[in-house]
Chains A and B, each alone.
Chain A
């Protein structure tokens, strides 16, 4: 095989003058982390509301939440990104649409992707929240009501906190999905880790080194999150609930 390995390529200057190759990857990783962390936090907050709404007795809250979850779960993320990026600015009033188009490219790419990723992730996380609430034994709610808690307080102080502790493990794998899904941002031009890796491989003509580095970075971050969450999971485990 006539491929010439060059592991010093990471320290060479990029042909486009954007700096050393490893810095290219580092800025990419920065975008990936910023994007996935902020999307995850926002999605979690949204999912808490929507997932809870799906368990409430009022159909006026339950139905819109169910429709939201169904629609955002069953359209590919890439299509959702295109809808927010290409379609929505056209449908808004002209002045707003123009303001969006005139914003700096990176800003609009980042916030579009953040919006799309948040709404997509929230739909999946809401199902986890709902499953968590439904797995809290009925007696907990009955006991809370018997002790004089109102409906809202029973949810806020008794049921939801336990539900959240139960779903820590599935939420972790959900975060890994957000982290991986953030790579879709490259389709609208945001240079996150995968996008930077492709640039690196094209500019340097050393594709093996470029993709190898990216794979190791993704695996490394995944590994760190798994270790961290294993720790959190043990601390938050609900006593007496098997497998929780």
Chain B
């Protein structure tokens, strides 16, 4: 390897941007739905009836103990079977994008759920009791009093987990989805510029995640100052 061929990257721009859009979409949808679903899991574990709390715990334990790649395979290979059985349509297919999205939401909900559970239990019990004493229902108290305080405290951890999610979206490589890494791999193989392309990819991920890490530091400092 004597000379780098950065020019090849120049021509691949539109394709790489397309991949980046897929990565961003996976990250944002995984983050939003994961946090929503995770909040449900956390509430079920802390305030739900025992059977629901146990189910939420089992769900969390399962998804936290298997590799993300295995979750992706589960969804990619098996959900089509299940859907065909439910709808009765033998030709139904999910496609890699929806499979990846489903896998990320399922797995991230377990991880976000644990963070949110920690945040919820860090809010003093008196807050809930005071809200109920003021005449609020449990659900209203949760929504207006406990959850906002919990979310403020756990913003840094949630951002941290989202950075992890962004990095983990690269695993969709295993079902040949064209995310940023997948698109870059195709460019590298077409142009024979493996070295340049992968170094560039690493640099881009590093840059984006560095911004995220800086954001974590800022939010953490703001919370400590209060």
A176–B61 CA distance with the chains assembled, in angstroms: 12
Residues of B within 8 A of A73 (CB): 209, 213
Nearest B residue (CB) for A192: B67
A66-89: contact bitstring with B at CB < 8 Å (1 yes, 0 no)? Answer: 000011011111111011001100
A136-165 interface bits toward B, Cβ cutoff 8 Å, 1 = contact, 0 = none:
000000000000000000000000000000
Looking at A91, A194, A208, A219, the one whose CB has the most chain B CB atoms below 10 A away is A194
Tell whether, in the assembled complex, residue B201 and residue A79 are in contact, meaning their CB atoms are under 8 Å apart: yes
Interface residues of A in 80-109 (CB under 8 A from B): 80, 82-83, 86-87, 90-91
B201 & A90 in contact (Cβ 8 Å cutoff): no
Contact (A208, B78) CB under 8 Å given A218-B66, A218-B70: yes
How many contacts between A and B, using CB within 8 angstroms?
111
Q: Does A38 contact B (CB under 8 A)?
A: no
- In the complex formed, the residue of B with least CB distance to A214 is B70
Are B206 and A211 touching (Cβ within 8 A)? Answer: no
A interface, CB within 8 angstroms of B: 1-3, 70-71, 73-80, 82-83, 86-87, 90-91, 176, 180-184, 186-187, 194, 197-198, 201, 207-208, 211, 214-215, 218-219, 222-223
16 new A-B contacts, CB < 8 A, other than A79-B170, A180-B67, A208-B78, are: A3-B85, A74-B163, A74-B167, A75-B167, A75-B206, A77-B167, A79-B202, A83-B198, A183-B68, A183-B69, A184-B69, A184-B171, A197-B73, A201-B77, A207-B77, A207-B78
Task: Mark B residues whose CB is within 8 Å of A.
Answer: 1, 61-62, 64-70, 73-74, 77-78, 81-82, 85, 163, 167-168, 170-171, 173-174, 181, 185, 194-195, 198-199, 201-202, 205-206, 209-210, 213
